[in-house]
Structure 1
């Protein structure tokens, strides 16, 4: 998608950057799973490892749909981004404190959640919300004095503010002197090896 947005050159014999991005989007979107938790994406495709719904793959689909909506002007992408955001607000994202759960167990209908916080989860939602907000405030894509559009703008602006503030609170915790850190791993906690990479992202 970045290649399309930045107008990278491409071979005429190959599919366009937009086509490639759209193919990835369609592959992800068809895996939206309503058999549990009323939606979301499972952590992995393989059934043996699919017992969780996690914010990162869902957030990547959200970001992809938001970027495609802004780039193409196609409302279908924007509608899916809106649907994903609302699902998260009901399932993984506490919009009161802007805490994004790291995982939810499918067998509990996503009631059993891990509340660890990782920066990379927040980043995809923040950027996706920014793309949608930018699209909303573009005068060419909204009707003047439309209450529904104003309500949507408020929704995305609040989302951006909430995610930004939570991310800064998480990465620069005042109780540890405002030093940059990922609290889940760094305050006297022994982390599994795979977690150390998540701290850096």
Structure 2
């Protein structure tokens, strides 16, 4: 079970003294924001059972129909809690975070545990790598030397996703990263924005952290593919993806995390290139469109599902978007005057409706009503947590590099070089003859057994 620190217990005591009042926070006071974030984080972990006997560390309950959550959202949650730790200094959840991330590493130290093969997307794998990359950048406690290291885990995922096995070999969509890892998975022929945006984001961050331009070149190549395929429109709308063979059947659904993933990656490259005008222009264009599309009336909103029904994945997008916009303000400070007022107004709307649950402070999903909507879940809590801590981003330490205090050990050869789909030697005449003999022997033995069983 979760063990709470003395400071957090004191915060919980304050909440009890307020007789389970709605989440109460002064958004002009960093200390108040941190106290509210502590409560939201504590409520978030009520949806996690991986530290209980017989449960699997690292994952939220699922996948459907066994629970609401796919594997990737566990990785996303630990990223949210790492960001919470960095922004508040609260180390309450360190043991949980470390156990969870290392438990899901997999036998090749690449976040590819075999039991998730049936639903393994490149974006799913990437979300765990993003959390490892964040651990690297915030100077999070390194694992024991005999365990996989945060930086090498991020490198392993990036290197594997660079491999031609994950890529479209030719045609208009050439070198696009597929949504799904395995050919047997539904969606293998979908070249979507989030998988490619995750790869772009990790590459941008590896470039900045290691000062290795190869990562930046690959990230830039991916940006160009996304733009050339029309996934980023001339108006800077970011669409969801398209199918093979030619990626022309654009799915024009717009989700905030697609844009935000690209925005944060662009901010890392802006910072890495010492303020490149190209990346500054791209950041400005993305920010302007995002504020128009995803923050009507300055309140976070998911236009492609919120008016109908958002699934458990979509219910978590607002939090990632806020966190990555907060990170953008750190790396590209010129964005702060645009982003901060909107995030602040959105967060105010978010906490206003956190009046649910037995403790009177669980958060719902629809923030523009000002009323709790009875929609509770890990995603809803991550949304409000991400919004709260995003307001602290400009004042916290920027991401580290390996020359500014980063300690995580990397591995330029990390990642499995084994093909995803095993290949077999051609069948020869001798193979066929041997198979025939073996089949005859099996039949003879089986008939003998049947005869013996039929005797009295």
Q: Contact 1:105 / 1:112 at 8 angstroms: preserved in 2?
A: yes
Shift of the alpha carbon at 1:96?
Answer: 2.1
Shift of the 75–199 alpha-carbon distance from structure 1 to 2, 3 Å rule, reads: closer
Question: Does 2:288 correspond to 1:165?
Answer: yes
Q: Contact 2:192 / 2:241 at 8 angstroms: preserved in 1?
A: yes
Shift of the alpha carbon at 1:116?
Answer: 0.8
Shift of the alpha carbon at 1:38?
Answer: 1.8
2:140 to 8, 12, 30: 8
TM-score, normalisation: structure 1: 0.81
Following superposition of structure 1 onto structure 2, how do residues 9-88 of structure 1 map, counting pairs within 5 Å? Answer: 9-10=141-142, 11-30=144-163, 31-36=166-171, 37-48=173-184, 49=186, 50-88=188-226
Shift of the alpha carbon at 1:8?
Answer: 2.1
Q: Contact 2:301 / 2:318 at 8 angstroms: preserved in 1?
A: no
Q: Contact 1:55 / 1:92 at 8 angstroms: preserved in 2?
A: no
Q: Contact 2:237 / 2:254 at 8 angstroms: preserved in 1?
A: yes
Q: Distance in 2 between matches of 1:16 and 1:132?
A: 24
Shift of the alpha carbon at 1:60?
Answer: 0.7
Richer in strand (by share): 1
For the residue of structure 2 that corresponds to 1:183, the secondary structure is coil
Shift of the alpha carbon at 1:128?
Answer: 0.6
- How many correspondences in the alignment? 181
Across the aligned residues of Structure 1 and Structure 2, the Cα RMSD in angstroms comes to 2.0
Gaps of 5+ in 1: 139-152
Q: Contact 1:40 / 1:53 at 8 angstroms: preserved in 2?
A: yes
Question: Does 2:319 correspond to 1:181?
Answer: no
Gaps of 5+ in 2: 1-132, 320-456
Deviation sequence 1:14-70 (CA, Å, 0-9, x none): 233221211111111112323341221111123242121101111111011000000
**2:311 corresponding residue in structure 1:** 193
Following superposition of structure 1 onto structure 2, how do residues 71-110 of structure 1 map, counting pairs within 5 Å? Answer: 71-107=209-245, 109-110=246-247
Shift of the alpha carbon at 1:71?
Answer: 0.2
Q: Distance in 1 between matches of 2:178 and 2:269?
A: 24
Q: Distance in 2 between matches of 1:193 and 1:20?
A: 29
Q: Contact 1:103 / 1:113 at 8 angstroms: preserved in 2?
A: yes
Richer in helix (by share): 1
**2:407 corresponding residue in structure 1:** none
Shift of the 198–98 alpha-carbon distance from structure 1 to 2, 3 Å rule, reads: farther
Q: Distance in 1 between matches of 2:302 and 2:136?
A: 33
Q: Distance in 1 between matches of 2:235 and 2:204?
A: 23
Q: Contact 2:300 / 2:318 at 8 angstroms: preserved in 1?
A: no
